[in-house]
């Protein structure tokens, strides 16, 4: 269950780290809020997958990768544009709507994984709780480490973050297109 939770939480943790890289001065409480939102999104989607089963997955599997690709690419280009901007007062914080969109986009795979949770022999509530906690802890750790590493390097951090998002978006899209 822990390995499955780690696998599901990697995307969310990368996004949390990118967000921290974009705003390395973010407080611990801000990073905790982002990690909590990602953890809750992963848990809810996994729970929905476990409850909805094959029906729910079949409704979104034909387009979910395009949604993830679009959201991550838009955020990446915005980050890159701000990083290259000469405006040092540019707002580097992610708004609630962008953070929520990223949390939902990165949790779509958890929905698919959730379909298998009843088959693992672990109760659905326990599995969902483990996925949520692992995502929270991994996202918080990644965000904290990266924000400390890049605290004085805002411009490179934004460009690195944008590149990571584009690579992640492309990887997700290519994985799903290969499976079709």
CB 180 within 8 A of CB 63: no
Which residue has better confidence, 76 or 28?
28
**Residue 91: its pLDDT value, please?**
47
Q: What is the tens place of the pLDDT at every residue in 128-148?
A: 999 999 999 999 999 988 877
Residue 65 has pLDDT above 90, yes or no: no
Question: What is the value of pTM for the model shown?
Answer: 0.71
Question: Which residue is listed with tokens 């809750």?
Answer: 40
Average pLDDT, the chain: 80
- Band (pLDDT 50/70/90 cuts) for residue 89 is very low
Alpha carbon distance 13, 135 (integer Å):
7
Kindly tell me if the per-residue pLDDT of 63 is higher than 50: yes
Q: Is the pLDDT of residue 67 over 60?
A: yes
23 phi, psi to nearest 5 deg:
-135, 70
Residue-level pLDDT at 112:
74
pLDDT exceeds 70 at position 150:
no
Whether 12 contacts 38, CB under 8 Å: yes
* Separation of alpha carbons 25 and 10, rounded Å: 23
With a pLDDT cut of 90, the percent of the chain lying above it is: 19
């Amino acid at each position: 269950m822990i390995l499955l939770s780690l696998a599901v939480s990697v995307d969310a943790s990368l996004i949390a780290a990118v967000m921290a890289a974009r705003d390395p001065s973010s407080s611990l409480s801000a990073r905790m809020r982002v990690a909590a939102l990602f953890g809750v999104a992963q848990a809810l989607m996994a729970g929905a997958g476990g409850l909805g089963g094959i029906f729910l997955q079949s409704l979104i599997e034909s387009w979910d990768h395009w949604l993830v690709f679009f959201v991550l690419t838009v955020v990446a280009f915005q980050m890159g544009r701000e990083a290259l901007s000469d405006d040092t007062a540019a707002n580097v914080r992610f708004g609630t709507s962008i953070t929520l969109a990223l949390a939902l986009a990165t949790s779509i795979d958890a929905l698919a994984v959730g379909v298998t949770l009843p088959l693992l022999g672990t109760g659905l509530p326990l599995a969902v709780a483990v996925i949520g906690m692992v995502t929270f802890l991994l996202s918080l750790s990644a965000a904290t480490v990266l924000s400390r590493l890049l605290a004085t390097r805002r411009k490179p951090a934004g460009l690195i973050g944008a590149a990571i998002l584009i690579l992640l978006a492309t990887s997700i899209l290519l994985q799903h297109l290969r499976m079709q």
